């Protein structure tokens, strides 16, 4: 049984990750590839409890380091209990966010230094990384307006616009140096975004089959 592939959808709030997840899921179903969906933070009972901690407002300062450690605690649980065993059994995994979110939000948005992030990443993940990341790039104002229209904003979504601008810049600067990350223009209408997603998935499949 060949090892499964790990595909991750990334992007700011309101970028359209849920509909992109559905699009990837349909694509894999059409190709008769066994797969499962996961999300971060979350995806195991303990990691879901961490998700609630991260999202709720607190009557105390939540330091950038606390936030970062919680993200990695959740990720450690998910990779060990769900992602690795699934991939080992030949199942593909579609992730709603992964490590790139920490590098963009905690690195770019919160300003945690790169070398600190890199040592934590090495401790938790070692060489583990997605086979393909699809980054839905959206202007922060547009994404936040969509998120606001959906309902109440969580603790992170309530950050100022400048935080999301820094996060987006970090997403894009990392993507520019990593060929496994494909940027998709999520400012387009949904049909165009899905067309671009499918194009990337077909390219990935063709490359994997060679």
State the minimum distance, in angstroms, from the CB of residue 183 to ligand TMP.
Answer: 18
Residue 151 backbone zone (phi > 0: left; psi -120 to 50: alpha; other: beta): left
Answer yes or no: is 11 a known binding residue: yes
Q: What are phi and psi of 59, to 5 degrees?
A: -90, 35
Confirm or reject binding of residue 40 to ligand TMP (CB under 6 A): yes
Task: Count residues near ligand TMP (CB under 6 A).
Answer: 12
Instruction: Judge whether 149 and 143 are in contact, CB under 8 Å.
Output: no
CB nearer ligand TMP, residue 163 or residue 205: 163
Instruction: Judge whether 106 and 116 are in contact, CB under 8 Å.
Output: no
42: helix, strand or coil = coil
Binding residues among 68-127 for ligand TMP as defined by CB under 6 A: 71, 96-97, 101-102, 105-106
Largest CA distance in the chain: 54
State the minimum distance, in angstroms, from the CB of residue 179 to ligand TMP.
Answer: 22
13, 91, 137, 196: which one binds ligand TMP (CB under 6 A): 13
Strands 132-137 and 6-11, how do they pair?
Answer: parallel
Please tell me what DSSP assigns to residue 63: -
* Closest by CA position to 131, among listed 165, 181, 96, 170: 181
Confirm or reject binding of residue 10 to ligand TMP (CB under 6 A): no
Confirm or reject binding of residue 41 to ligand TMP (CB under 6 A): yes
Answer yes or no: is 17 a known binding residue: yes
Site string for ligand TMP, 138-157 (x = CB under 6 A): ------------------xx
What is the binding site for ligand TMP (CB under 6 A)? Answer: 13, 40-41, 71, 96-97, 101-102, 105-106, 156-157
């Amino acid at each position: 049984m060949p090892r499964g592939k790990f595909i991750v959808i990334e992007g700011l709030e309101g970028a359209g990750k849920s509909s992109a997840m559905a699009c990837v899921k349909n694509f894999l179903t059409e190709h008769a590839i066994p797969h499962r969906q996961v999300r971060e933070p979350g995806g195991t009972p303990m990691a879901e409890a961490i998700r609630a901690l991260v999202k709720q407002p607190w009557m105390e300062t939540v330091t950038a380091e606390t936030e970062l450690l919680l993200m990695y605690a959740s990720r450690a649980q998910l990779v060990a209990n769900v992602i690795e065993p699934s991939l080992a059994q030949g199942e593909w995994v579609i992730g709603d966010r992964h490590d790139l979110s920490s590098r963009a939000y905690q690195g770019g948005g919160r300003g945690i230094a790169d070398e600190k992030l890199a040592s934590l990443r090495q401790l938790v993940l070692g060489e583990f990384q997605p086979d393909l990341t699809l980054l839905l790039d959206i202007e922060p104002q547009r994404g936040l307006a969509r998120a606001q229209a959906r309902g109440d904003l969580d603790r992170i979504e309530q950050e100022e616009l400048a935080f999301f601008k820094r996060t987006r810049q970090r997403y894009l600067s990392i993507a520019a140096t990593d060929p496994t990350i494909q940027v998709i223009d999520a400012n387009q209408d949904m049909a165009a975004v899905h067309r671009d997603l499918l194009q990337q998935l077909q390219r990935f499949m063709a490359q994997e089959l060679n």
